[in-house]
Structure 1
């Protein structure tokens, strides 16, 4: 799958439960919004999150829960990038 992590082109197969689909769609939509500094990637640009949520059709009531999921995925991606020396 393309776009899971910056600089990685690794094919992966996984099962996605239907309840996780909105969080996955938000995650995928945010993949062009990584912040990069002198030390490398350090997180997602949350300033654009409201626009991305709107474009993804995410309702305000659901946004808080999805934000927590997005942060979980972001932490794991950053952990994996640091481990790989990205």
Structure 2
């Protein structure tokens, strides 16, 4: 049972954020809260997770043609579509930054170099 201020480790949002590597702790130990204005963008962000372009070094970014096709099906007004797309791009950039930091930490650890703490 979870108290009023205790996150539910089975919460889908917390699990999704952890699966993207955006949490240092396992799902359930931290909770992310969204501003109401960002809920639609976050929902669409979840919907485009199959649209990652992946190269030899890992994911390089989203396939924007696929993102646009997804957004075509979302019944968004023109201004809302722009806002949602900007939100998706912000999530994409943050995810790529976290993944790059994780790769750097893994490479440093594998080479025996000290691994700096996360700020």
TM tier relative to shorter chain: 0.7 to 0.9
Give the aligned partner of residue 78 of structure 1.
96
1:28 and 2:46 correspond: yes
Give the Cα separation in 1 of the matches to 2:98 and 2:79: 30
**Once the two structures are superposed, what CA deviation does each residue of 1:8-48 show, in whole Å capped at 9, x if it has no partner?**
9x414111121111111111111111110111110011011
Larger helix share, 1 or 2: 1
Q: 1:59 offset after TM fit, Å?
A: 2.3
Greater relative contact order, per chain length (Cα 8 Å cut-off, separation 6+): 1
- Cα distance in structure 2, aligned partners of 1:29 and 1:56: 10
* TM-score of the superposed pair, with normalisation by structure 2: 0.61
Measured after TM superposition, the shift of residue 73 of structure 1 is 1.0
Q: Which runs of 5+ in 1 are unaligned?
A: none
RMSD of aligned Cα (Å): 2.2
Match of 2:16 in 1: 2
Aligned length: 84
Q: TM-score, normalised by structure 1?
A: 0.80
| Alpha-carbon distance, 1:55 to partner | 2.7
Unmatched 5+ residue regions in structure 2?
A: 1-14, 107-119
Structure with max Cα Rg: 2
Q: Is the 8 A contact 1:25 1:56 kept in 2?
A: no
